């Protein structure tokens, strides 16, 4: 009887050990960003910057005015362009709010690279907020532009972080940009009715404002 109890206990402990291994926290939960939630129209204060989302627009095409070297262009959306107009200010020192994503039920969308500037090697045709260097006391208003399926717009939230500038070494091989970063999650107020308004008849030839 005693031997059977010992075997049962050993098996139970082994099962518990295996179960504990698979029940570990996800990487994001263990090392993910420190999140601060906000809402459209309200200022959210992070340790290194403040952000206020002023407005969200939809667009079918984006108009890029001519320059000395290029002619005027109409850039078409594959889905629909979601243009998030926001004001950002650095708090203590120079900062880039370079990591922006539109979090939707279909996944996370990076800002579109249809405006150029891919890889940071050239300037985009219209400068998005991701490329702007913010200085303390000098708030700047500009836009993040996303290209998403129309069905993904309802419930979308803007995630913004400065963690590109705060890479943390991870292990031997790579730097991990997400560890312990500060990140703002802004509810854009895109309920189904508002999402339908943005996506049902989005305007063509939308002019994305350059950062102020």
Partner 1 sequence: MHPRARVAGYVTATVLVAVGALWATGGLGPADTPVPTPPGREVDQHLFRTRLVGAHVATVKKFGQSTRMLVINAWVTNPTRETLGTYGVDDDVFAHGMFLHWRTQDGPRPKQVDAQAIAGDTLFRSLQPRLPTYVAVQYELAAGTRVPDRVTVALADYEHTESGVLDPRGYWEWKPRRYETRYETDPLTHRSGRVTHIIPVLVADVRLPVRS
Nearest to 170 by CA among 36, 27, 25: 27
Residue 78: CB minimum distance to partner 1, A = 5
What are the residues binding partner 1 (CB under 8 A)? 27-28, 73-79, 106-110, 112-114, 116, 118, 147-149, 152, 170-171, 173-174, 176, 178
CB nearer to partner 1: give 116 or 189: 116
Q: How far apart are CA 19 and CA 101, in angstroms?
A: 34
Tokens of 136: 């303390």
CB nearer to partner 1: give 91 or 103: 103
Residue 114: CB minimum distance to partner 1, A = 5
Tokens of 175: 């730097």
Positive or negative torsion for Cα 67, 72, 77, 81 = positive
Report whether 74 contacts 205 (CB < 8 A).
yes
CB nearer to partner 1: give 116 or 139: 116
Residue 169: CB minimum distance to partner 1, A = 13
- In terms of DSSP H, where are the helices of the chain? 2-22, 27-31, 192-200
Residue 27: CB minimum distance to partner 1, A = 5
CB nearer to partner 1: give 27 or 34: 27
């Amino acid at each position: 009887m005693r031997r059977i109890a010992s075997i049962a206990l050993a098996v139970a402990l082994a099962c518990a050990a295996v179960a504990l291994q698979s029940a570990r926290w996800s990487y994001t939960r263990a090392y993910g960003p420190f999140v601060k939630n906000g809402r459209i129209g309200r200022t959210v204060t992070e340790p290194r910057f403040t952000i206020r989302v002023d407005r969200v627009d939809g667009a079918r095409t984006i108009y890029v005015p001519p320059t000395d070297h290029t002619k005027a262009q109409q850039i078409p959306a594959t889905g629909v362009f979601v243009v998030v107009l926001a004001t950002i200010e650095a708090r203590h020192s120079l900062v880039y709010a370079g990591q922006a994503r539109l979090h939707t039920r279909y996944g996370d969308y990076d800002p579109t690279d249809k405006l150029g500037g891919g890889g940071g090697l050239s300037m985009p045709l219209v400068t998005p907020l991701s490329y702007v260097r913010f200085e303390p006391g000098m708030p700047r208003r500009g836009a993040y532009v996303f290209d998403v399926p129309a069905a993904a717009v309802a419930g979308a939230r803007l995630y913004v972080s400065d963690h590109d500038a705060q890479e943390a070494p991870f292990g031997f091989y790579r730097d991990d940009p997400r560890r312990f970063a500060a990140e703002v999650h802004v509810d854009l107020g895109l309920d189904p009715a508002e999402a339908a308004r943005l996506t049902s008849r989005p305007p063509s030839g939308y002019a994305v404002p350059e950062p102020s």
